[in-house]
A and B are shown apart, each in its own frame.
Chain A
Amino acid sequence: MERHSYKLEKRLTPSPVMVFIIPIISVLLALILGGIFLSMTGREPLAVYTIMFTDSLGSKYGLTETIVKAIPLALTALGVSLAFKMKLWNIGAEGQFYMGAMGASWLPLTFPTLPVYVMIPGMVVLGMTAGGLWALLTAIPRAIWKVNEIITTLMLNYIAILWVDYLVFGPWRDPLGSNFPITAAFSDAARLPGLGDSRIHSGLFFALAIAVILAIVFKYSRWGYSINVIGSSERAASYAGMNIKRNILLVMFLSGAISGLAGMAEVSGIIGKLQHGISPGYGYTAIIVAWLSKLNPLAILIVSVLFGALQVGGYAAQIEGVPAAVATMLQGMILFFVLGGEIFTNYRVRRVSRKGEESK
């Protein structure tokens, strides 16, 4: 009797077809698995998905909401992708987002009468600096003593979130706000202009600009090359005379600064004040977005829109009585399948008969 076994064989070069197909199949598989789960809880998966996707992509309002969610996702994902490129595992985008929001909010809360041409640039600089410094807090021990940045960046997230809570529940609370944990509303000068009459704000251009800049940096700049070398082999980098410590500090600061900018754009473009719970976890979803995009800045823009749609669809599903966590679940499953599917980009499956002949 012929017996067969399957064997993985490493491909000489990653398959370009698989690079393209795997994400698509992963989304489909996630939807199928999510569908099974939904039907187990007694719901009609197709109906839920229809609601989720028509509400997020099928109407003008849904589409703008999707973009509104995609902006902070894209910015934080771009931030973490910069650090990931150097194999610095910055998972603190959430905290850097909060600190950026706080830094930016300080200006309109302290000097509410500043004119717009001072206010907006000032908020951008303050937001980015605050986010950057927050990330730098972890970069310094990482650079000097090799303290694991995964732990430190994660821990600082909680501190940042609670710090903002402290401010909005305490010293920064709007005395006229009937005890809600919110600050006073920003003046109009502190609000990022919107596009037309939609809620989409000019933070969109921040995301587009940074994506283009990062794409150029990664592909064509000498600094991008250094980041790549350091990320690939620290020993080779120091052999080549590169300053690893300085690059850790710089990359981490900029990574945090971009997430800080996301926080600034959110408070200035959408909320118009600082308040409790300004992010539904953008900084964490950003990690998934960056990873799914293979750290490609332009792909991040596209994937952010997809994930923005999932988020909006999740809210829509909630209205129908399905927990919004469905969206989170789908996000997790997509990542799961993409990571699992990566094996097919680098390996091919061969069927091996026991006699030693091979067939594909």
Chain B
Amino acid sequence: MVKKIEHLEMVGITKRFPGVLSNNNVNIQIKTGEVLAILGENGAGKTTLMNILYGLYKPDAGKILLNGKQVSINSPKEAIALGIGMVHQHFMLVPTLTVCENVILGLSKSFIVDIKTATQRIREITDTYGLAINPDAYVWQLSVGEQQRVEIIKALYRGANLLILDEPTAVLTPQESKELIQLLRNMSAQGNSIIIISHKLHEVMSLSDRVTVLRDGEVCADVCTRETSQDALAQLMVGREMAPCQREGTFSPGKAVLELQEVYSQGDKGTEALTGVSLTIREGEILGIAGVSGNGQKELAEVIAGLRKLSKGKISLNGKESTKMSPANIIEQGLGYIPEDRLRVGTIPSFSIWENLILKDHHQRPFAKHLLLQNRVIMSHSSSLVEKYGIKTPTLETPTSSLSGGNIQRVILAREITRSPVALVAAYPTRGLDIGATEYLHSKLLEARSNGIGVLLISEDLEELMSLCDNIAVLYEGRVMKVIPVEEANERVLGLLMAGIAEQAS
């Protein structure tokens, strides 16, 4: 049986990576039943610190004390044996296996796997903490929020009583986030310790007992949540005062640049994902799409970009019908698209910055003449974009995979906006980005709006939608519940519409 973690302390942790001091003399501590939030911007060293605790990295200096005794954790296996579990930002599940199979993966020592007992134990865990998961479901059938719960079950099944969660809400809907926070509170009340890595202030405020703020690899504050405020934390984290972006000027839309008429389309699993969506985006307008993710947002963005077939309906872009156009044709007609998956769709991680910057234009002048790429033109174009969009990279040849999320998004933004599109689809553009990067993205979307670009902004962040959009459409089960001007929008109205309740919202 795993010993209870009464008290855990990391002392003087220092970790260097080639060229970066990721953690510099960092101290943290946590007691049983406590929720500790590690707050910091991307690149502040939060994940590194937790990877050290979980045995994925060795610190260059420093020690870990567990219940007052020094321990050395050389691998996740040893961390698990000590009762430490971790839920990574990117889940490590096998989609084609069931929940139960995923949970017991790598645990069984005998030749024959006792699924029945395992299922039983998983049921006990899910019942104890109110995790509604069917152990026999296949992982590919589960929503992101459910997959995350499977990861939590995995850790608990292995006897974890200190749980580390790396940006757990980055991939969740507001509803799922709320559920998760409830779940984590419940777990801490039952004597588990929880460390959550985050840069979302309101979550930290509502969930944690204590906050350790990291900036540039160093602890810059360690405070009780009760004794601090959201503003104070934001300043500590960023190191300067923040001015949130706000839509300015009057809304004076021009002609329609993107129109959807009664669009129907199927999702990946063959079910109807869009059922009669009609929307109009005009020049100089930001139209927000609110909704719990999985209600057709992904499919909506893809049908517009020509990446998914319509089963019925009509789309026109810049006055021309684009329903049957190829993706290449639609790009040519002036559609910019910031895809949801910036790592696998928006960029190619192994490609250099410059290669990613010409992804959509590599075949035409001035980047290609006849059959050959014009490297000199591409390089000067790329370096000017890197400068203009403040992309932090050592060289143009650096693979995109080594950039932070915010910088990758800047690469995509630079590429999509410099193509001067007539319409821009942005799917969850700020998901997982820190405050600084989010602020920058917002300012660029507003700039696009004032340049007369019609923007379709898909987001789960209601605050974001309400501060940027002119109109907000709420998507629920593949149809538009209602399109409301931002002046009439508030969290209650949007929340009701997102839950599919139309009457009370009006």
Whether a CB of chain B sits under 8 angstroms from the CB of A240 is yes
A240 contacts B360, CB within 8 Å? yes
- Of the residues A225, A236, A355, contact of B72 by C-beta under 8 Å: A355
A190 to chain B, nearest CB (A): 33
A242 to chain B, nearest CB (A): 7
- Stretch with Cβ within 8 A of A (4 or more), from B182-190, B231-239, B283-291, B343-351: B343-351
Chain A residues with CB below 8 A from B59, complex form: 356
Stretch of B196-204, B327-335, B473-481 at the chain-chain interface: B327-335
Residue contact B360 to A241, C-beta cutoff 8 Å: yes
A232/B351 in contact, CB under 8 A: yes
Residue contact A239 to B348, C-beta cutoff 8 Å: no
- Using known A-B contacts A222-B371, A235-B345, A358-B60, determine if residue A242 contacts B350 with beta carbons closer than 8 Å: no
Evaluate contact between B339 and A239: CB separation under 8 angstroms: yes
When C-beta atoms are compared, the residue in chain B nearest to A7 turns out to be B58
B460 to chain A, nearest CB (A): 21
Chain A proximity mask over B75-98: 1 for CB below 8 Å, otherwise 0? 000000000000000000000000
Contact with B along A269-304 (1 / 0, CB 8 A): 000000000000000000000000000000000000
Do A222 and B348 touch (CB < 8 A)?
A: no
| B402 / chain A contacts, CB cutoff of 8 Å | 12
CB interface residues, A 219-261, toward B, < 8 Å:
220-223, 225-226, 228-229, 232-233, 235-236, 238-243
Distance (whole angstroms) from the CB of B79 to the closest CB of chain A: 14
Contact of B362 among A5, A225, A350 (CB under 8 A): A225
Give chain B residues whose Cβ lies under 8 Å from the Cβ of A5: 74
**A354 lies within 8 A of chain B by Cβ:** yes
**Other-chain residue from A220, A232, A241, A352 in contact with B331 (beta carbon distance below 8 A):** A241
Q: Is the CB of A222 within 8 A of B373?
A: yes
A233 close to B331 (CB less than 8 A)? no
The answer for the CA separation of A199 and B348 in the assembled complex, in Å, is 47
Residues of A contacting B351 with CB < 8 Å? 228-229, 232
Query: A358 touching B58 by the CB < 8 A rule?
Result: yes
Q: Which residues of A in the span 42-80 have a Cβ within 8 Å of any Cβ on B?
A: none
- Across the interface, A236 reaches (CB within 8 A) one of B17, B62, B345, B399, namely B345
A21 to chain B, nearest CB (A): 21
Query: Chain A nearest CB: distance from B399 CB in Å?
Result: 8
Residues of chain A lying within 8 A (CB to CB) of residue B337: 239
Which residues of the other chain, A, contact B60 by a CB distance below 8 angstroms?
358
A354: nearest residue on chain B (CB-CB)?
A: B72
Q: Which residue of chain A has its CB nearest to the CB of B375? A: A220
**Are A243 and B307 in contact (CB-based, < 8 A)?**
no
Q: A238-B307, A352-B74 are in contact. Are A232 and B346 (CB under 8 A)?
A: no
Q: Which of chain B's residues have a CB closer than 8 A to the CB of A240?
A: 327, 331, 359-360
**Please, what's the 1-or-0 string for A87-123, where 1 marks a CB less than 8 Å from any CB in chain B?**
0000000000000000000000000000000000000
Q: Hey, what's the 0/1 contact readout for B300-312 against A, CB within 8 Å counting as 1?
A: 0000010100000
Within 8 A of B (CB), among A194-232: 216, 220-223, 225-226, 228-229, 232
Chain B residues with CB under 8 A of A242: 328
Contact A232 B350 (CB under 8 A): yes
- B372–A229 CB distance below 8 A: no
Q: How many residues on the A side are at the interface (Cβ–Cβ under 8 A)?
A: 29
Q: A222-B363, A222-B368, A222-B372 are in contact. Are A233 and B327 (CB under 8 A)?
A: no
A239 lies within 8 A of B375 (CB): no
* A12-B402, A239-B346, A242-B328 known; A226-B362 Cβ under 8 A: yes
Closest to A229 in B: B348
**B residues less than 8 Å from A225 (CB atoms):** 355, 358, 362, 373
Residue from A216, A220, A238, A356 within 8 A of B327 (CB atoms): A238
| Shortest distance between the CB of B416 and any CB in chain A (Å) | 11
Contact of A233 with B348 in the complex, beta carbons under 8 Å: yes
Which positions 5-58 of chain A face chain B at CB distance < 8 Å?
A: 5, 7, 12-13
Distance (whole angstroms) from the CB of A184 to the closest CB of chain B: 42
Minimum distance in angstroms from A66 CB to a CB of chain B:
35
Give complex CA distance A235, B341 in Å: 10
Given known A233-B348, A355-B72, A358-B58, contact A221–B372 (CB-CB < 8 A): yes
Cross-interface CB contact of A239 among B305, B329, B362, cutoff 8 Å: B305
User: Are B347 and A222 in contact, CB atoms less than 8 angstroms apart?
Assistant: no
Interchain CA distance A12-B347 in the complex, whole Å: 19
A135 to B233, CA, bound (A): 62
Q: Which residue of B lies closest to A12 (CB)?
A: B18
CA distance A167 to B61 in the complex (A): 73
B18 partner residues in chain A, CB cutoff 8 A:
12
Distance (whole angstroms) from the CB of A356 to the closest CB of chain B = 6
CB distance A220 to B363 under 8 Å?
no
Q: How far is the CB of B266 from chain A (nearest CB, A)?
A: 17
Residue of A nearest to B397 (CB): A13
Task: Give complex CA distance A208, B359 in Å.
Answer: 31
Contacts of B305 on A, CB cut-off 8 Å?
A: 239
Residue of B nearest to A217 (CB): B371
Complex CA distance for A12 and B339, rounded to whole angstroms: 27
Question: How close is B370's CB to chain A, nearest CB, in angstroms?
Answer: 9
Q: Give the residue name and chain of the B residue nearest to A225 (CB).
A: B362
Question: In whole angstroms, what is the CA distance A228 to B358 when docked?
Answer: 13
Chain A hits for B178, CB < 8 A: none
A228 to B373 Cα, complex, angstroms: 13
B363 to chain A, nearest CB (A): 5
A221-B363 Cα distance, complex, nearest whole Å:
9
State which of A223, A229, A243, A356 has its C-beta within 8 Å of the C-beta of B328.
A243
Q: With the chains together, A354 CA to B55 CA distance in Å?
A: 12
Q: What separation, in Å, do the CA atoms of A12 and B402 have in the docked complex?
A: 8
Q: Which residues of A contact B373 (CB under 8 A)?
A: 220-222, 225
Residues of A within 8 A of B348 (CB): 229, 232-233, 236
Given known contacts A12-B18, A236-B347, is B327 in contact with A241 (CB within 8 Å)? yes
A241 touches B326 (CB 8 A): yes
Is the C-beta of B298 less than 8 angstroms from some C-beta in chain A?
A: no
Decide if B431 is an interface residue (CB 8 Å cutoff): no
Give the contacting residue for A243; candidates B61, B326, B371, B372; CB below 8 A: B326
Closest residue of chain A to B59 (Cβ to Cβ) is A356
B169-195: CB near A (< 8 Å → 1, else 0) gives 000000000000000000000000000
Q: How far is the CA of A221 from the CA of B373 in the complex (A)?
A: 5
Q: Are B359 and A229 in contact (CB under 8 A)?
A: yes
Q: Please, could you name 30 A-B residue pairs with CB atoms under 8 Å apart, sorted by A?
A: A5-B74, A7-B74, A12-B18, A220-B372, A222-B363, A222-B368, A222-B371, A222-B373, A225-B355, A225-B362, A229-B359, A232-B348, A233-B348, A235-B345, A236-B344, A236-B348, A236-B359, A238-B307, A240-B327, A240-B331, A240-B359, A241-B326, A241-B327, A241-B328, A242-B328, A243-B326, A352-B74, A356-B59, A356-B72, A358-B58
Other 10 A-B pairs with CB < 8 A, given A236-B348, A240-B331: A12-B18, A216-B372, A222-B371, A226-B363, A235-B345, A239-B307, A241-B327, A355-B72, A356-B59, A356-B72
Which residues of B line the A interface, CB within 8 A?
17-18, 58-63, 72, 74, 305, 307, 326-332, 337, 339, 341, 344-348, 350-351, 355, 358-360, 362-363, 367-368, 371-373, 375, 399, 402
